[in-house]
Amino acid sequence: EPEVTQTPSHQVTQMGQEVILRCVPISNHLYFYWYRQILGQKVEFLVSFYNNEISEKSEIFDDQFSVERPDGSNFTLKIRSTKLEDSAMYFCASSEAVWGGRYTDTQYFGPGTRLTVL
Amino acid sequence: QKEVEQDPGPLSVPEGAIVSLNCTYSNSAFQYFMWYRQYSRKGPELLMYTYSSGNKEDGRFTAQVDKSSKYISLFIRDSQPSDSATYLCALRDGYNKLIFGAGTRLAVHP
């Protein structure tokens, strides 16, 4: 069964450093997402991406964050200058569509990257 | 008022019990409702997807949406130890964004 994969599974970085979290969405999916989950808190939407553009972003997704689809398979989240409060589990998700049926807009999640900022 | 409220539990039940998990939401415009299951240190996995009001059944799982009360439920029949996980309700906001509840931690003990 196709699945979303993410690397690394755990990233430790120093405050102020840049990190890039990588995701390989399901191959025929067109819409890509990043969510984060701070320990003990809700899963929160960060950004959605379609056709090489951000289609929606949350208040959390400020200028320190950026996303990119550098090639036909990868989808990345970059945090330019990490803060302690960026420590969280980051989930990538993908969907085939956003409209048009019961299942084609289902978002499938990867296993997550645990980011620890020291 | 928070958009989605979900009791975080934990909920502990014996094997074979019927489990009822619930969420309430504030925005009557929501039309698409989901239940995800999340095992420890894993990503959320879609369990049930419901559009508008009504019931949907899949094996031991039943999802119920009552839009008049802004209340969604997930029932698990004949619960198994393998059902032990965190259950997240999620609502779709617009085209892209999922809004999650806090998650209810369920433990099914043999």
The answer, yes or no, to whether residue B25 has pLDDT greater than 90, is yes
Residue of A nearest to B34 (CA): A106
Task: Note the Cα B11 to chain centre separation in Å.
Answer: 13
Residue of B nearest to A98 (CA): B95
CB contact under 8 A, B46 and A106: yes
The answer, yes or no, to whether residue B100 has pLDDT greater than 70, is yes
CB contact under 8 A, B96 and A109: no
Write out the residues of chain A at the interface with chain B, using a CB-CB cutoff of 8 A. 4, 31, 33, 35, 41-45, 48, 55-56, 58, 89, 91, 93, 98-99, 102-103, 105-112, 114
pLDDT tens digits for range B61-93: 999 999 999 999 999 999 999 999 999 999 998
- B51 contact residues in A (CB cutoff 8 A): 102
pLDDT tens digits for range A26-49: 998 989 999 999 998 999 999 999
The answer, yes or no, to whether residue A98 has pLDDT greater than 70, is no
CB contact under 8 A, A91 and B43: yes
**Nearest-CA distance A49 → chain B (Å):** 9
A contact test, residue of B46, B49, B95 with most A CBs within 10 A = B95
Report the pLDDT value the prediction gives residue B52, as an integer from 0 to 100: 83
Report the pLDDT value the prediction gives residue A114, as an integer from 0 to 100: 97
The answer, yes or no, to whether residue A102 has pLDDT greater than 60, is no
Least confident of B44-48, B88-92, B93-97: B93-97
Over residues B3-26, mean pLDDT = 94
B46, B95, B100: residue with CB nearest A98: B95
Residues A32 and A98: their CA atoms lie apart, in Å, by: 10
- How far is the CA of A14 from the CAs of A11, A82, A89, B48, in angstroms? 10, 7, 16, 39
Residue A13 contacts by C-beta under 8 Å, 6 or more apart in sequence?
A: A19, A82, A115, A116, A117, A118
Q: pLDDT band at residue B53, thresholds of 50, 70 and 90?
A: confident
Q: pLDDT band at residue A55, thresholds of 50, 70 and 90?
A: very high
Residues A42 and A114: their CA atoms lie apart, in Å, by: 15
Instruction: Answer positive or negative: Cα dihedral of A52, A62, A17, A6.
Output: negative
CB contact under 8 A, A112 and B97: no
A42, A99, A111: residue with CB nearest B42: A111
| Ramachandran quadrant class, B96 (left: phi over 0; alpha: psi -120 to 50; beta: rest) | alpha
The answer, yes or no, to whether residue B57 has pLDDT greater than 70, is yes
The answer, yes or no, to whether residue A60 has pLDDT greater than 60, is yes
CB contact under 8 A, B102 and A41: yes
Residue of B nearest to A104 (CA): B49
The answer, yes or no, to whether residue A8 has pLDDT greater than 60, is yes
